[in-house]
Amino acid sequence: MPDPEVIQDLYRSMLRIRGVEQRISDIYWDDKIKSPVHLSIGQEAVAAGVCQTLEPKDVVFGTYRGHHVYLAKGGDMNAMVAELYGKVTGCARGKGGSMHLIDLEHGVSGTSAVVGTTIANAVGAAYASKLKKMGIVIVVFFGDGAVDEGVYHESLNFAALKNLPIVFICENNGYAVHSPILSRRNSDNICEHARVYGVTAERIEGNDVIAINERVGKAVAAIRSGESGPHLLEIMTYRWMEHVGPGEDFNLGYRTPDERAPWTDSDQIDGLRGQIADDVVTRIDAEVLAEIDAAFEFAENSPFPEPEELYAHVYG
């Protein structure tokens, strides 16, 4: 049984993600967020469970579905929401938006809108960490769609070849946009494939935040101590909302509410709430709500970039 403080940390982490994304979904129709959003509601356990095992100096790489990773790693919430609003106080000064979040101070490397892209970048960061003996563990999050990309295979091969300090987190939510995994590959064998490259791999079933936390924790510890090279964790999870946008998508017909039901029934936030004393839950809930309120207020009140910003940051 994990430490009660870890349970509280995981609960708070997941609640912050759920709360921010639910708020985004609620206000999206106001059109104040004028860019696509890829919500991670339902997948909070992955980012929360993984990032709780990391040190502040460790670096994570993610994708356009990256709000959860950014927040779980400690990315500044005000700067994230302001970024979605396109404000100059955003983490990328409004130039990136939801799909391009960054907070280097807290170990969040920039996320990408092209599937698979940051996997190779993460491997490079791991190479630098090893070469310079930084003691930094790199974690890269990607979906099951990314394993179709050539760069994924090139990256795993090189990470294993050089025995790099990196954890590959495959968030397997069953779909690449709307395409199920078995329409894209011969068999559901992501871990088996990774092992062939020399990467230690295992699957974690059920979107179980405690299991994720424990097993990723062991992998990170083994990597940090130098006793092990790269690991891949295939974490089975489920996207509750549509691929892109604030709503649900059962009207499209590619999946059904029945398919989702087991995942919502086993909601990890509800599960942990039951393991924490009521007064503590009440306190955490209030603190998270206040933090979210403040972040959206900060975004609302922040200015847009000045017109001259158009030409800034092309070259450095």
Partner 1 sequence: MSTDNTDTNQRILTYPEAVREATLQEMERDDGVIVMGIGVDDPKAIYGTTAGLQERFGEDRVFDTPLSEDGMTGMAIGAAQMGLRPIHVHIRMDFVLLAMNQLINVAAKNLYTFGGAAPVPIVVRSYIGRSWGQGPQHSQALHSMFMHVPGLRVVAPSNPYDAKGALIASIRDNNPVMFVEHRLLSDSTSHVPEEPYALPFGKARVQQQGSDITIIGISYMAVEAYRAAQYLKEVGVSAEVIDPVSLSPLDLETILASVAKTGRLLVVDNGWLTCGASAEILASVAENVESPVSLKRMGFAPVTCPTTPGLEQGFYPNAQTIAVMANQMVQGKSADWVPDEIGATEATEFRGPF
Residues that bind partner 1 (CB under 8 A): 59, 61, 90-96, 100, 102, 104, 109-110, 112, 114, 117-129, 131-132, 134, 136, 150-151, 153-155, 157-158, 161, 312-316
CB of 69: closest distance to partner 1 in angstroms?
Answer: 15
Strand bridging mode 175-176 / 179-180: antiparallel
| Nearer to partner 1 among residue 1 and residue 315 (C-beta) | 315
CB of 207: closest distance to partner 1 in angstroms?
Answer: 28
| Nearer to partner 1 among residue 133 and residue 253 (C-beta) | 133
CA dihedral over 289, 272, 9, 104, signed as positive or negative: negative
| Nearer to partner 1 among residue 67 and residue 239 (C-beta) | 67
Distance CA 118, CA 99 (A): 12
CB 275 within 8 A of CB 59: no
CB of 67: closest distance to partner 1 in angstroms?
Answer: 16
CA-based angle 297:43:104, to the nearest 5? Answer: 55
| Nearer to partner 1 among residue 12 and residue 231 (C-beta) | 231
CB of 72: closest distance to partner 1 in angstroms?
Answer: 19
CB of 79: closest distance to partner 1 in angstroms?
Answer: 10
Name the residue with tokens 């599960």.
271
Q: Which helix (H) or strand (E) holds 100?
A: none
* Cβ neighbours for 50, distance < 8 A, ≥ 6 positions apart: 72, 139, 141, 167, 169, 212, 213, 216, 233
| Nearer to partner 1 among residue 117 and residue 268 (C-beta) | 117
Q: How many CB atoms lie within 10 A of CB 150?
A: 8
| Nearer to partner 1 among residue 125 and residue 269 (C-beta) | 125
E strand map for the chain: 59-61, 138-143, 166-172, 175-176, 179-180, 200-204, 231-236
CB of 99: closest distance to partner 1 in angstroms?
Answer: 9
